Amino acid sequence: MAGLRLIVGLGNPGAEYLRTRHNAGFWFVDALASGHGERFAFDGKLHGETCRVRIGGEPVWLLKPSTFMNKSGIAIVSALRYYKIEPEQCLIAHDDLDLPPGTVRLKFDGGHGGQNGLRDTMEHLGHGRFHRLRVGIGHPGHRDQVTPWVLGRPSAKDEDAILDGIGRALDVLPLAVEGQFEKAMLRLHTVENG
């Protein structure tokens, strides 16, 4: 399978959403850009902020949609078309209610699991054949509490766990960029359970 050429972090723009659980995808790409000494800049034609990094010698575009979560597909499809990148060469990092804070999982294809950014992206693409980095944020325990939970800031303990998970995902990212997804998944899972 081809390696990665576009990495998207899902989140909501604006200072009030910056440290919310729903912005865990933004946290991931921000950490990635920062680790490479790069900064995001707004690009109107791509409906988001972009920058480029080199991972294992390969150029990879990073994208943070500025469309709000439920319209993420607009920015993602625009970037795929503009850079002439196939969806299979794209990794979308997003918050995941079904995983506890600190747990991160790589996955290819599948449904959206109720995640609105993934849902909109799949509606625009007509399929789900792209890579995902599921960043666990935990679940509030009841469906009625989901919206305030995802739009709220995690406790210091949970935030540390989420950032630790993001760090482990960054460690295996070079393997995914090379197209060695199974190896990246295995290493991520092994380190987590080690």
CATH number of domain containing 58: 3.40.50.1470
- Per-residue confidence (pLDDT) for residue 143, from 0 to 100: 87
Between 4 and 190, the higher pLDDT residue: 4
Instruction: Give the residue-averaged pLDDT of 22-39.
Output: 97
In whole angstroms, give the CA distance from residue 137 to residue 125. Answer: 26
Six token digits for residue 111: 């449904």
Average pLDDT on 74-85 reads: 97
Question: Which pair of structure tokens corresponds to residue 42?
Answer: 């707004």
What is the domain extent for residue 164?
6-193
Is-contact 8 83, C-beta < 8 A? no
Inside any domain, residue 39: yes
Residue 1 lies in a domain: no
pLDDT of residue 56: 86
Is pLDDT of 63 > 80?
Answer: yes
Cβ pair 9, 93 in contact under 8 A: yes
Residue 1 has a pLDDT of 56
69 pLDDT higher than 60: yes
189 or 18, greater pLDDT: 18
- Report if pTM > 0.85: yes
Which token pair is 47? 């409906």
Residue 139 annotated to the active site: no
Residue 190: predicted pLDDT: 80
Does 145 fall in a domain?
yes
**Regarding predicted confidence, which is higher, 190 or 185?**
185
Find how far residue 115's CA is from the centre of its chain: 12
Q: Are 66 and 79 in contact (CB under 8 A)?
A: no
Q: What does the mean pLDDT of the chain come to?
A: 94
pLDDT score of 189: 83
102-158: pLDDT as tens digits: 999 999 999 998 899 999 999 999 999 999 999 999 999 998 999 999 999 999 999
Q: Is residue 131 part of a domain?
A: yes
pLDDT level of residue 163 (50, 70, 90 thresholds)? very high
DSSP-derived 3-state class of residue 121: helix
Amino acid present at 136: G
Q: Report the length, in residues, of the chain.
A: 194
Structurally, the chain folds into a number of domains equal to 1
Six token digits for residue 99: 């995983």
186, containing H or E segment: helix 181-193
**Exposure string (b/e) for 57-95, b if CB count within 10 Å is 16 or more?**
eeebbbbbbbbbbebbbbbbbbbbeebebebbbbbbbbb
What SS3 class is residue 146?
helix
Residues contacting residue 15 through CB under 8 Å, at least 6 positions apart: none
Span 179-188, mean pLDDT?
Answer: 93
Average pLDDT over residues 77-99: 97
